[in-house]
C-alpha cells in the first residue's frame, strides 16, 4: 500500500462512509461488503450450519472502491451462514463478519438474517412509554444472576436466560408471598435495568449448557449480535435475536428502560475478526509492535481511527434502533477518545427521541494507552469536554462514602474515616462545585453510586471495614444501619443514582472481590435473602419514591446548585442541608431537609418555620410521612434523616 494507516493519503484513498458494510438482505438478493484495504483477495464462503460442515460455495469478491470488497448473490440467503477468507501479505485467514447481525453457535460464522423474521408479536409497537418523563434510577444486573436461583420462581428452562424476563408475577418458590424478578423490580421503583454485557461474548461455550458456566461477559466477540448463552437455542441464529427482543419488550411493558453495558475498548483476543480482516488497523500498538494493554485484557481498540470510530457509532445506533435500547454504559470509557464519544452522542440524538437515550461510562482505564493521533481520552479530568449528554461514574462519591474500592479494610466517611466529611457536600452536589479538580457541566453528567459489579458488594465492603473475619451471611444490625446510611446519602444527592442488583437486600458474594467467573451460587441474586431483608428493600423503595416526588434531586440543570443550603456543622459529625424544590407537578414537598448524622449518638436540630413531615428516620423510610415535626427533630446517629415541607 505504501503509506501508513494514519496518513492523509490513506484517509483520502480508503476511509469509507457508506452505511452498507456487512450483509444487506432482501428476498431477491444479498449484498456483502467488507472493508479490507490491505487485502490482496477476499472470498465469501457460504455454509449451511453455523459451526459445522464444509463450505457450500465460494465467491470471489470484487473491489468496489475505498478498500471495500463486494459480492452480490441473487437468491434468498436468509438463514445461510457465511465467513470471509481474507488474504493479506500472502497469508489467508477465515473470519466472521465484523458487521455481522446474526451468527451461529459460539460466533465463529455470521448469518444472513431477515430481521423482520426475528420480531416478536407487537414489536413494531414496542417502546418505553413516557421515556421523557422518567426519573432515572439505574439497577445494574447480570442476566444469568437475575433468575438462576432455583428459588426465583422462574420456570426451570428459562432460568438464567433472556426469557426469564418474560415471566409475569413470579414469586419466591412460586408461593405467592414475595415477588421476584421483573415483578419485584417493578415494585422496587427503579427505572432502568442496566444489563451487564449481553452482546455476543466468547468466555461461555454456547455449545454446552449454561448451568455450570458463568462469566460477566467483558470479552466481546460479535458486537452486533446478542450473546447465545442466554438463548434457549444458540445454534439457530434467529433465536437469540428474537428472545433478546422479547426480553426488551417485557421490560418495557413493565415500564422500565433497558441499558446495555457495551465494551468497545477491547476484544476477547487479538485473534479477532478485526485483526483478521485488516491486520493492526483496529488496535493500538506500542512502539515495539506489541499490542497496547490499557484495558488489562490484552489489547486496546483504537476509537480514534476513522473506521473503528465509524463502527462504534453505527453499532450503538443499531442497538438503539433494532433492539429499542434506552441507554448505553461504556466500559473503560477512558480508553476511548472524547471526539468519538461526542460523535456517538450526536448520532443518537439524531434518532427519533434519541436525546432521551442515556449515555454514561467509566471515566478511567486500566493503564495508559498510546492513542494514535494524540487525541484526548474520555477520562474524568476531561469531563468538561464531553457532551453534556454523557455522564461519568463518580468514584469520588463512591470512595468518600464507603471507603477505597481497592483497599478492603480502608473505611469511608460513614464507617470510620469521619475526616472525609469535608468532601461530603461535593458528593451531594455531584462534584459540580469543582472541588474535585474536574468540571462536570451539570449534575446530569454524574452517576452517583456506592456499588457496582466490580469489587466488593456494599454489604461485604461494610463488613470488611468493621469486622476482622466477617460472617457475611449473618444479619448484622450495625452493618444494616450503615447500608441504610450509604443508600440515604446516594439517594439524596444530585446525579443519577445507580446501584448493583441486590444492594437493596444486603447482597453478599461472601467477600469475593472479583467474581467475574465465580460460580453462580456466589454470584446469583439470592431471592430468599431478598425476602429475609425485606425491611431493607422497603427502605430503598421509600428512598426511590422520595426521588420521584421531589424532582430537584434529579435535575440536570447546573442552576439547581443554588437550591441547596448547607448548614454550619462540623462535617465530621454531621452534614445538614436543605433543598428547595423546583415546583414540579409531581412534587409532594416544596423543600427537603436532610441530615447525615455521622456520630453514634443522636442529635436534636432546630427546624426552620413550616409544617414538616418526617419521611425517613434512618430505619424506616415512609414517603407519606412517619409523623409531623415542628420546630425540632431528633436525628438518629449513623443515619440519614429526611424531612419534607408540605407544598403549601
Ligand atoms: Ca458467545
556-569 tens-digit pLDDT: 999 999 999 999 99
| pLDDT in the model for residue 308 | 98
| pLDDT in the model for residue 1 | 64
What is the H or E stretch that residue 312 is in?
A: helix 306-322
Query: How many angstroms separate the alpha carbon of residue 208 from the centre of ligand 1?
Result: 11
CA distance 58 to 106: 22
| pLDDT in the model for residue 210 | 83
Give mean pLDDT, residues 213-231.
98
pLDDT of 624 > 90? The answer is: yes
Q: Which of 264, 294, 314 is nearest to 372 (CA)?
A: 294
Per-residue pLDDT reduced to its tens digit, 31-86 = 999 999 999 999 999 999 999 999 999 999 999 999 999 999 999 999 999 999 99
Place of cell 483497599: 407
Per-residue pLDDT reduced to its tens digit, 455-477 = 999 999 999 999 999 999 999 99
Q: Are 497 and 135 in contact (CB under 8 A)?
A: no
Q: Which of 362, 503, 504, 591 is catalytic?
A: 362
Q: Which residue pairs, CB below 8 angstroms and at least 24 apart, start in 532-535?
A: 532/475, 532/505, 533/475, 533/480, 533/504, 533/505, 533/506, 534/178, 534/505
Q: Which of 236, 300, 304, 331 is catalytic?
A: 331
Query: How many angstroms separate the alpha carbon of residue 227 from the centre of ligand 1?
Result: 5
The three-state secondary structure class of 295 is coil
Per-residue pLDDT reduced to its tens digit, 118-153 = 999 999 999 999 999 999 999 999 999 999 999 999
Percent of the chain with pLDDT over 70: 100
CA distance 40 to 271: 20
- β-strand partners of 301: 283
Q: What are the φ and ψ backbone dihedral angles of 619, each rounded to 5 degrees?
A: -115, -45
Query: How many angstroms separate the alpha carbon of residue 388 from the centre of ligand 1?
Result: 34
Q: Which of 191, 186, 129 is nearest to 548 (CA)?
A: 191
Query: How many angstroms separate the alpha carbon of residue 573 from the centre of ligand 1?
Result: 51
Per-residue pLDDT reduced to its tens digit, 358-390 = 999 999 999 999 998 779 999 999 999 999 999
Between CA 68 and CA 71, with CA 70 as vertex, the angle to 5 degrees is 170
Query: How many angstroms separate the alpha carbon of residue 354 from the centre of ligand 1?
Result: 29
| pLDDT in the model for residue 339 | 97
Kindly give the pairing relationship between strand 57-60 and strand 41-47. antiparallel
| pLDDT in the model for residue 209 | 86
Give mean pLDDT, residues 233-243.
98
Annotated catalytic, 362?
yes
Query: How many angstroms separate the alpha carbon of residue 237 from the centre of ligand 1?
Result: 12
Query: How many angstroms separate the alpha carbon of residue 397 from the centre of ligand 1?
Result: 35
pLDDT of 2 > 80? The answer is: no
Give mean pLDDT, residues 602-616.
96
Average pLDDT, the chain: 97
Kindly give the pairing relationship between strand 68-73 and strand 192-195. unpaired
Annotated catalytic, 331?
yes
Q: Are 376 and 356 in contact (CB under 8 A)?
A: no
Amino acid at each position: 500500500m505504501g503509506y501508513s494507516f494514519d496518513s492523509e493519503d490513506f484517509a483520502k484513498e480508503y476511509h469509507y462512509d457508506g452505511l452498507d458494510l456487512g450483509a444487506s438482505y432482501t428476498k431477491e438478493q444479498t449484498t456483502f461488503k467488507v472493508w479490507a484495504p490491505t487485502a490482496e483477495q477476499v472470498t465469501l464462503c457460504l455454509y449451511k450450519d453455523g459451526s459445522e460442515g464444509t463450505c457450500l460455495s465460494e465467491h470471489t469478491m470484487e473491489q468496489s472502491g475505498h478498500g471495500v470488497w463486494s459480492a452480490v448473490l441473487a437468491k434468498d440467503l436468509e438463514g445461510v451462514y457465511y465467513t470471509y477468507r481474507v488474504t493479506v501479505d500472502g497469508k489467508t485467514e477465515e473470519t466472521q463478519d465484523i458487521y455481522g447481525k446474526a451468527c451461529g453457535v459460539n460466533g465463529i460464522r455470521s448469518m444472513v438474517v431477515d430481521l423482520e423474521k426475528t420480531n416478536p408479536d407487537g414489536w413494531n409497537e414496542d417502546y418505553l412509554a413516557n421515556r421523557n418523563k422518567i426519573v432515572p434510577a439505574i439497577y445494574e444486573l447480570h442476566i444469568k444472576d437475575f433468575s438462576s436461583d432455583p428459588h426465583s420462581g422462574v420456570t426451570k428452562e428459562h432460568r438464567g436466560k433472556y426469557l426469564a424476563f418474560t415471566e409475569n408475577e413470579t414469586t419466591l418458590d412460586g408461593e405467592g408471598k414475595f415477588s421476584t424478578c421483573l415483578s419485584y423490580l417493578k415494585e422496587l421503583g427503579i427505572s432502568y435495568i442496566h444489563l451487564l454485557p449481553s452482546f455476543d461474548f466468547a468466555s461461555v461455550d454456547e455449545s454446552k449448557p449454561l448451568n455450570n458456566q458463568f462469566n460477566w461477559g467483558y470479552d466481546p466477540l460479535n458486537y452486533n449480535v446478542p450473546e447465545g448463552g442466554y438463548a434457549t437455542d444458540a445454534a439457530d441464529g434467529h433465536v437469540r435475536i428474537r428472545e433478546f427482543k422479547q426480553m426488551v419488550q417485557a421490560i418495557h411493558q413493565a415500564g422500565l428502560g433497558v441499558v446495555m453495558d457495551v465494551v468497545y475498548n477491547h476484544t476477547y483476543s487479538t485473534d479477532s475478526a478485526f485483526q483478521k480482516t485488516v491486520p493492526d488497523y483496529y488496535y493500538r500498538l506500542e512502539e515495539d509492535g506489541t499490542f497496547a494493554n490499557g484495558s488489562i485484557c490484552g489489547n486496546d481498540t483504537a476509537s480514534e481511527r476513522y473506521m473503528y470510530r465509524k463502527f462504534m457509532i453505527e453499532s450503538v445506533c443499531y442497538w438503539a434502533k433494532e433492539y429499542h435500547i434506552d441507554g448505553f454504559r461504556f466500559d473503560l470509557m477512558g480508553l476511548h477518545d472524547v471526539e468519538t464519544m461526542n460523535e456517538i452522542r450526536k448520532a443518537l440524538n439524531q434518532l427519533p427521541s434519541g436525546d432521551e437515550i442515556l449515555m454514561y461510562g467509566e471515566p478511567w482505564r486500566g493503564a495508559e494507552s498510546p492513542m494514535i493521533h494524540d487525541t484526548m481520552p474520555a477520562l474524568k479530568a476531561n469531563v468538561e469536554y464531553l457532551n453534556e449528554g454523557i455522564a461519568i461514574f463518580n468514584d469520588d462519591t463512591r470512595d468518600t462514602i464507603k471507603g477505597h474500592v481497592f483497599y478492603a479494610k480502608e473505611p469511608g466517611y460513614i464507617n470510620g474515616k469521619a475526616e472525609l466529611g469535608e468532601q461530603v457536600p461535593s458528593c451531594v452536589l455531584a462534584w459540580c462545585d469543582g472541588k474535585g479538580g474536574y468540571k462536570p457541566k451539570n449534575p446530569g453528567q454524574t452517576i452517583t453510586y456506592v456499588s457496582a459489579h466490580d469489587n466488593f458488594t456494599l454489604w461485604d465492603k461494610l463488613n470488611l471495614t468493621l469486622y476482622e473475619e466477617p460472617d457475611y451471611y449473618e444479619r448484622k444490625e450495625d452493618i444494616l444501619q450503615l447500608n441504610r446510611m450509604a443508600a440515604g446519602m446516594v439517594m439524596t444527592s444530585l446525579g443519577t443514582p445507580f446501584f448493583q442488583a441486590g444492594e437493596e437486600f444486603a447482597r453478599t458474594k461472601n467477600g469475593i472481590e472479583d467474581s467475574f467467573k465465580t460460580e453462580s451460587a456466589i454470584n446469583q441474586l439470592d431471592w430468599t435473602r431478598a425476602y429475609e431483608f425485606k425491611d431493607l428493600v422497603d427502605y430503598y423503595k421509600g428512598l426511590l419514591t422520595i426521588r420521584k416526588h421531589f424532582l430537584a434531586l434529579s435535575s440536570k440543570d447546573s442552576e439547581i446548585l443554588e437550591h441547596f443550603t448547607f448548614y454550619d456543622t462540623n462535617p465530621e459529625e454531621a452534614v445538614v442541608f436543605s433543598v428547595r424544590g423546583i415546583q414540579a407537578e409531581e412534587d409532594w414537598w416544596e423543600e427537603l431537609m436532610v441530615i447525615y448524622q455521622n456520630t453514634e449518638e443522636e442529635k436534636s436540630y432546630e427546624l426552620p418555620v413550616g409544617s414538616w413531615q418526617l419521611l425517613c428516620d434512618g430505619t424506616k423510610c415512609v414517603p407519606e410521612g412517619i409523623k409531623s415535626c415542628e420546630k425540632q427533630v431528633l436525628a438518629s446517629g449513623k443515619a440519614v434523616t429526611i424531612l419534607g415541607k408540605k407544598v403549601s
